[in-house]
A and B are shown apart, each in its own frame.
Chain A
Amino acid sequence: MVNANEIIDSIKLQLRDYPQETRIRELYERTRTAYQTEGKQGIRKELELDRSKLQTRFDEAIQKVKQDTGLL
């Protein structure tokens, strides 16, 4: 398995900023660990968990906007 540095090096030109590099490195290492324990399914679970957290915040913010503007 290649390490995170090689991945980052291969996409460095497309990175927008330093935090993005850190995020991608973290994402790669986290999903690689998931892959090593649960295979492809582990990666899917990890990504779904990330999205689910964001989706929950997104849905809550929508509800709050509706509440603030009398849409509820």
Chain B
Amino acid sequence: MPEFTLSNLKITGFRGITVQQDVPLGNPLTVILGQNRNGKSSIANAIEWCLFGPEVAQIKYGEIRERETWEVKNLNSPACHVQCEFQSSDGKTLSVKRTFKTAKTSDISWEIKGGEKSTDEKKLHAFLRISSTDFVSSVHLHPETLRSLIIAKPKDRKEAIDRLLGLSELRDMVEAFASQKPNDWTTALDHDLEVLDGKLTTALSEKKRTIDTESTDLISQGVAKTDLTPEGALSYALELLNELQKFADRYHLTAPSIPTPADFTAIQQFRNQLPTVIEKLRNEHPALADQGKHLIQKSTLEGLRSSHASQLKKLEDAKLASTSHPEKRSVTELKAELTSNQTDLHKIEAEIREVSRNAKVLDEALTFFQNRTLSDRLACPVCGETTHSVEEWRAHIQKEISDKNLQPLRGRKEELAEKKITLEKAIEEKENLQNKIVNETSKLSSSVKNIEKAINRAISESDDPIAILNSEISALSETLASMQGQIQALNSSFTDFQSALLNLDRFQRIGNAQQEKAKIEAINDNDAYKQLKAIRKEADQHAEDEERLIEGLKSSVNSEAQKRLTNVQKAVSDTFSRLTNRPDYPGLKVSAVGDGFAIELTNQSEILKAVPILNHADINCAALSIFLALASSSQIAHRLGIVILDDPSQSLDIVCKKNLCQALSDLCDSRQVILATADNELGVLAKEMHKNKMLYNVKDWTPKGGPVIEAEATSAAHAI
């Protein structure tokens, strides 16, 4: 049962109010009169903001968010805060104060006198058992909220009536459950199962195909169809092992040391050891070993033959180069001549030096005589020719020395020097050719030694190594040719062993495919698959539980709604009848239908949908009827015993207004009513209501001073 009423309100700097205004309340009825834009609604809205703060900006009133762009704090006021004081029926005092910080933030503190004190907003709402949406639908009735009870979209109407009925939480739960779509989830699980089943079917086909293909191959290899079983595979493996043993015995080879497979599962390991066993037999077999040795020897001798022939050719080439050299003299002869040439060269150089020395003495003597006056005729001491001047004489003598003594000597020296170079070059070339012959001869000798080593016997100088090699190679070829038949037979055996290995692989693939096929065919007995089906069933059960719970919640909310509406049905209809005074359809019926509510007009014989018939005033009356009946009922869940009506008389005529005041007068018996109105007629009628009341005239608003709030003397003596 609602228990808290409002005893006092202090407002500073909120909306249209600037300086602090104290508004004592506390009477069952408070009437706030004032023309529009004088701050009347600011008083009513201050209570809402004090309790819920910036949250109220998010509340939808029908289709609009009226307060999204609210200027909460008055621009001419330095601070903004609102304080509400509530009294409970059992004597408790609750004080709540909210202080503006920003458009989206504020501070709140609340206190129960002599009791709890807190700044936790949620705790306050929990204490009052009210949310902001509950407040605007069931306490503070805006014209938009009133209209949404009748003409809003079914969903909004449903929400508005649900809140009045105290059923909004149940509705929320239904919606939250339904939004999870349990069936969508189980459908997705089914899809996963279908994909898995599809893969199993495909795998089964693949296994069958493998079995068919491999079986066909084995049959073509001579395996009987009846032997295409694990037992047949085992028997085939044992037979192969037996064949290998027989082969080893026949050629006196080491018997294969490999364990006999005990069952089908051991075949894989057996098969993996076989290549090593077969390779060992091959390596150990004497014929194959001999063949190998012969082939290697033949290949070695062929290589030696080729390299020896090449070495012979190189030696012959070196010898030919030596004999073809244009200088036919031996190196010794050339060296002797070089020595003689050297001696001649030294002699010539000594003569040149001697002549040069003499010429220098003569030149110095001539220089001495150069500027002297001598007789007209000067005779050359070399040739006797006469000259006419010392200069001429000197030139003549120098020319004589040069032409007849030095020039021939120098010419001879050059010849000897050239000859020396030619001799040295010839000596070097001849020595290189000789060295090459020695070198190639040495290599040939090594080649012969290699051949001796390969054929394991000595080769005399008279033997032709190539001929010997040809003979050896020919003998080896004959030996190899003679072994060919036996080798072919052996190779055929080994080919058979290899084929048997491949057949064992086929048996393996068939066996594996059969095992996997059997597993897939018996999938319904597979533990994991059974568990999967059980989980799927569990998911179904889960989804079904959710569906049942949704149905239960829906059914409960509807029956609860119907039950609560039934309790107030008479009050709704009576209030409507009183407000509208319609002779044709005096009654109004609200009933829960499906997920929503139907609002219908009634008379003694008919029930009709209300909205198409009602005019604007009737719609307001219908909405007010529903609200006043529900707001005054004992089933309201919150603890606020207040009803705030803001301009409820729109479109109502004087008769309706009188009836409204009568209804409000009745409401005052169970609720504190705060009526804000700009309607003078309603104001006058309200003043005349026979209730203890407070009257406030809100007027003369100025930007800096805000409104003047004038309390009017009241009396409960008048009656409507």
Contact = CB atoms under 8 A, between A and B. Distances in A.
Nearest to A25: B549
A35 B173 contact: yes
Given A10-B555, A43-B176, A47-B180, A66 B196 contact: yes
Contacts of A6: 556, 560
A70 B207 CA distance: 11
A7 B199 CA distance: 43
B535 A20 contact: no
A71 B203 contact: yes
Contact of B551 (A14, A35, A40, A44): A14
Contact of B519 (A50, A58, A68): A68
Given A6-B556, A69-B519, A39 B172 contact: yes
A65 B196 contact: yes
B327 to A, nearest CB: 89
Interface in A1-51: 1-2, 6-8, 10-11, 14-15, 20, 23-24, 27-28, 31-32, 35, 39-41, 43-44, 47-48, 50-51
B549 A7 contact: yes
Contacts of A51: 185, 539, 542
B552 A65 contact: no
A24 B189 CA distance: 22
A51 B181 CA distance: 12
Interface in B46-66: none
A6 B167 CA distance: 14
Main secondary structure of the interface of B (DSSP, over half): helix
Contacts of A55: 189
Interface string B27-53: 000000000000000000000000000
B545 interface: yes
A58 B532 contact: yes
A7 B532 contact: no
Contacts of A47: 177, 180, 546
Interface residues of A, number: 40
Contacts of A8: 552
Most buried by B among A10, A23, A35, A57: A10
B548 A20 contact: yes
Contacts of A62: 192, 196, 532
A7 B552 contact: yes
A27 to B, nearest CB: 6
A43 B199 CA distance: 37
Interface in B527-576: 528-529, 531-532, 535-536, 538-539, 541-542, 544-546, 548-549, 551-553, 555-557, 559-560
Contacts of B189: 55, 58
Contacts of B548: 11, 14-15, 20, 24
Given A1-B170, A62-B532, A24 B549 contact: yes
Contacts, number: 120
A70 B516 contact: yes
B523 A69 contact: yes
B287 interface: no
Given A24-B549, A31-B173, A69 B203 contact: yes
B172 A69 contact: no
B603 interface: no
Contacts of A69: 200, 203, 516, 519-520, 523, 526
B528 A27 contact: no
A20 B552 CA distance: 13
A40 B175 contact: yes
Given A2-B560, A7-B556, A47-B177, A71 B536 contact: no
A7 B558 CA distance: 11
B69 interface: no
Nearest to A40: B176
B68 interface: no
B169 interface: yes
Interface in B481-532: 516, 519-520, 523, 526, 528-529, 531-532
Interface of B: 169-170, 172-173, 175-177, 179-180, 185, 189, 192, 196, 199-200, 203, 516, 519-520, 523, 526, 528-529, 531-532, 535-536, 538-539, 541-542, 544-546, 548-549, 551-553, 555-557, 559-560
Interface of A: 1-2, 6-8, 10-11, 14-15, 20, 23-24, 27-28, 31-32, 35, 39-41, 43-44, 47-48, 50-51, 54-55, 57-58, 61-62, 64-71
11 contacts: A8-B552, A31-B176, A35-B172, A39-B172, A40-B173, A43-B173, A47-B546, A58-B189, A68-B526, A69-B203, A70-B203
Given A35-B173, A58-B535, 14 more contacts: A2-B170, A6-B556, A10-B559, A20-B541, A28-B549, A32-B173, A51-B542, A58-B539, A61-B529, A61-B531, A62-B196, A65-B528, A69-B519, A69-B520
